[in-house]
Amino acid sequence: MKLEVAKDAEAAARLAALFVAHCVRQAATVRGQAHVAFSGGTTPRRMLEHLAQQDDLPWESLHVFQVDERVAPDGDERRNLNLLRKSLVEDGFLRPAQLHAMPIGAGDAESAARQYQSTLESIAGSSVMLDLVQLGLGTDGHTASLFPGDPEVSIDDRDVTATGVHAGLQRLTLTLPAINRARTRLWLVTSADKAARLRELVAGKGETPASLVRRDESFVIADRLAATPQ
């Protein structure tokens, strides 16, 4: 695991966007397509906005997936899809058909998870191999929508699952096998309240879901607040 520290959250977002762009170009050159999954939450916002400004990216070769999503109506402000759609499609160059949304409106969450598994397999292979998974780090050590103590953390036979209720909403998430099978993982971590968990992550310590993510070919971009010992 490699750590790069930026002076602030804005600089970290710029570095993360450059990292994603490099992975997209490399995958498109080598394999003709790039398969990238982005996490929800507020941390990736500026990274995605910077990425969307790169008009020379091989956008026609990029397929974007969701790492996780909240089970809420389309357009609900809590949906992670909103940010991806706004930044990459409406304000960027990604074709709408190449943003693969978790099918929250497909009925029950378990059915939606199975449908998204099929979508992943149809694009990224029967043994789903994403080129890049971008991850965040919760103050409780969760990543994606895999929370401490949840049974979904132990799933090893599928790449997408429904979760229990967190902050009032059920979720869909990629599982650890899908995350760990990816060619590359990028952690984007900002703010002082993440400092303790970031130290654990970089040191390979702790027993949280984040600590179970594969360490090789994993890269962390953090701002100084998150990377400074408290």
| Residue 212 DSSP label | G
CA distances from 65 to 7, 20, 68, 134, 215 (A): 29, 14, 9, 10, 22
- Give the pLDDT band of residue 206 (cuts 50, 70, 90): confident
pTM of the predicted structure, to 2 decimals: 0.96
What is the full DSSP assignment across 47-98? Answer: HHHHHHT-TTS-GGGEEEEESEEE---TT-TT-THHHHIIIIIISSS--GGG
Quote the pLDDT of residue 230: 60
Helix and strand numbers (H, E) in the chain are 7, 10
Question: How many C-alpha atoms does 2 have within 13 Å on its Cβ side?
Answer: 7
| CA dist., res. 148 & res. 70, Å (int) | 17
Q: Is the pLDDT of residue 201 over 80?
A: yes
Domains present along the chain, CATH in parentheses: 2-227 (3.40.50.1360)
